């Protein structure tokens, strides 16, 4: 996954002033490099994440890259770390939120499926595609899947589900949603919410308590409205 020796060559030792400057007076920060690398990973796959290509898109010399990263591999490692913190941590955090019922526990997880601040499906898909060509990345993805399922499993246990049921419910809840993304099913949030009571009954094994659906729908629609661009 490393770039050729020319890209890792002498111009990596340029001065900080040279490495941070771009066309005109605009400066490229580490966040600029990471943001563009993430966008490229999602749109073009890992093979598109190249130092020279990213530098050209930013309008700066590739030498500035080495002010923030040791190598292309360092950048790729940081992209993986970002993915883990963004997507896995979101599910883990939602799984330990207070829940007075198993249906509320499941709804807490459901929040990940409409809030990209908790779980970015396009990024997850891109990393899984990357894993198809890398044994090392595949191990990291498999570990993340286990961590996510284990967190949901623990949530079901805390909500009183029997052990065997908790494990299978966790697997169904998680793998069904990952499959939903993998199949690239396009469906509005409003349409999905009309099926929420049935989804919830199937995943949790019981009907929601009074007010749980209404509160969840209100949060979901408000969050989606906040994210939609203003016409």
Q: What is the pLDDT of residue 21?
A: 40
Show pLDDT as tens, one digit a residue, over the chain (231 residues). Answer: 444 434 443 343 333 333 344 444 457 899 999 999 999 999 999 999 999 999 999 999 888 899 999 999 999 999 999 999 999 999 999 999 999 999 999 999 999 999 999 999 999 999 999 999 999 999 999 999 999 999 999 999 999 999 999 999 999 999 999 999 999 898 888 898 999 999 999 999 999 998 999 999 999 999 888 876 544
Nearest to 171 by CA among 182, 183, 155: 155
Q: What is the pLDDT of residue 155?
A: 98
Q: What is the pLDDT of residue 2?
A: 42
Q: What is the pLDDT of residue 26?
A: 52
**What CATH architecture applies to the domain 17-69?**
Orthogonal Bundle (1.10)
Domain boundaries, the chain: 17-69, 97-227
Q: What is the pLDDT of residue 228?
A: 64
């Amino acid at each position: 996954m490393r770039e050729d020796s020319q890209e890792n060559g002498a111009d990596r030792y340029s001065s900080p002033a040279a490495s941070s400057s771009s066309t005109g007076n605009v400066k490229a920060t580490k966040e600029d490099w990471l943001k563009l690398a993430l966008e490229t990973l999602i749109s073009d796959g890992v093979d598109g994440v190249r130092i020279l290509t990213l530098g050209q898109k930013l309008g700066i010399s590739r030498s500035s890259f080495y002010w923030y990263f040791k190598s292309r591999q360092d950048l790729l490692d940081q992209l993986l770390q970002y993915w883990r913190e963004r997507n896995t941590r979101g599910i883990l955090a939602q799984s330990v939120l207070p829940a007075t019922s198993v249906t509320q526990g499941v709804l807490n997880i459901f929040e990940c499926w409409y809030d990209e601040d908790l779980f970015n499906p396009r990024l997850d898909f891109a990393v899984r595609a990357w894993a198809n060509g890398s044994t090392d990345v595949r191990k990291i993805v498999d570990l993340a899947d286990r961590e996510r399922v284990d967190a949901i499993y623990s949530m079901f246990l805390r909500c009183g589900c029997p052990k065997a049921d908790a494990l299978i419910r966790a697997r169904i809840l998680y793998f069904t949603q990952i499959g939903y993304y993998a199949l690239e099913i396009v469906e509005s949030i409003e349409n999905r919410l009309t099926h929420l009571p049935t989804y919830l009954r199937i995943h949790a094994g019981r009907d929601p308590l009074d007010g749980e659906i209404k509160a969840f729908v209100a949060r979901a629609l408000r969050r989606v409205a906040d994210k939609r661009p203003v016409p």
